[in-house]
């Protein structure tokens, strides 16, 4: 089964099953905003069931437009059902081939999806392409460095949980630099149990 098929199947129950994790991971985002009151035009790469947009609205963050991109059509169907914003759109696409114009967004958000990408360099390069110079990437993902995550990583490999790779802090920073980003802010957090996360704000060079 592909990642896309797995998430199509999981879409209906995803928000209930992963409610605690989703909330905890999104709470890292305001810590990397650098007090930005307006994120401008936002692309949410790997938007899943569309939890980022209502969370930002609840947090009082402003934006001009929002586009959510995800591989799973069923996840996008759930996302469309919970978003009332007039200037919100969605597209089914791979992160490595975004159907978006160059330098057309001010902010990109990538929350808990990088570990699924077959080619992280290609995905980050695409995000850099669609960001204007000086635009910001707000990235939240698993962090392999802490011992609980190293143990979890080993267990998930043994049990064949489907994901591409769990990254260390150094690997994430190196990948961002290769894609043309400058890391500005870095924070760490927990989503309960063994889950340890990193949040990064990186500017497009």
Can you tell me the distance from the alpha carbon of 130 to that of 4, in angstroms, rounded to the nearest whole number?
Answer: 23
Report phi then psi at 191, rounded to 5. Answer: -115, 25
CATH number at residue 173: 3.40.50.150
Q: Are 49 and 80 in contact (CB under 8 A)?
A: no
> What pLDDT is attached to residue 34?
66
> What pLDDT is attached to residue 56?
87
> Which residues, given as ranges, of the chain have pLDDT below 50?
none
Residues 6+ apart with CB under 8 A from 33: 39, 61, 138, 201
> What pLDDT is attached to residue 61?
87
> What pLDDT is attached to residue 18?
87
- Per the structure, how many domains does the chain have? 1
- Please give the C-alpha separations between residue 70 and each of 45, 120, 187, in angstroms, as whole numbers: 7, 15, 25
> What pLDDT is attached to residue 49?
93
> What pLDDT is attached to residue 140?
97
Can you tell me the distance from the alpha carbon of 205 to that of 202, in angstroms, rounded to the nearest whole number?
Answer: 9
> What pLDDT is attached to residue 6?
74
pTM of the model as a whole: 0.92
Domain with 48 in it: 3-204
First to last CA, the chain: 38
- Please give the C-alpha separations between residue 62 and each of 43, 72, 106, 200, in angstroms, as whole numbers: 14, 27, 12, 20
> What pLDDT is attached to residue 10?
65
Residues 6+ apart with CB under 8 A from 143: 149, 167, 168, 169, 188, 196, 197, 198
């Amino acid at each position: 089964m592909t990642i896309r098929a797995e998430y199509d199947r999981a879409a209906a129950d995803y928000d209930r099953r992963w409610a605690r994790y989703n909330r905890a991971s999104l709470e890292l985002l305001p810590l990397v905003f650098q007090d930005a009151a307006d994120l401008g035009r936002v692309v949410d790469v790997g938007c899943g069931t569309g939890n980022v947009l209502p969370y930002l609205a609840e947090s009082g963050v402003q934006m001009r437009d929002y586009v959510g991109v995800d591989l799973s059509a069923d996840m996008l169907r759930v996302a469309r059902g919970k978003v009332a914003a007039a200037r919100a759109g969605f597209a089914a696409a791979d992160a490595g081939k975004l159907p978006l114009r160059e330098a057309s967004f001010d902010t990109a958000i990538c929350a808990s999806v990088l570990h699924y990408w077959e080619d992280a360099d290609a995905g980050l390069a695409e995000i850099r392409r669609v960001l204007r110079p000086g635009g910001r990437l707000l990235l939240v993902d698993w962090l392999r460095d802490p011992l609980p995550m190293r143990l979890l990583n080993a267990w998930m490999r043994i049990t064949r949980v489907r994901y591409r790779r769990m990254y260390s802090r150094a690997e994430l920073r190196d990948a961002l630099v290769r894609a043309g980003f400058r890391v500005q802010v870095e924070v760490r957090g927990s989503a309960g149990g063994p889950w340890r996360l990193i949040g990064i704000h990186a500017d497009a060079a």
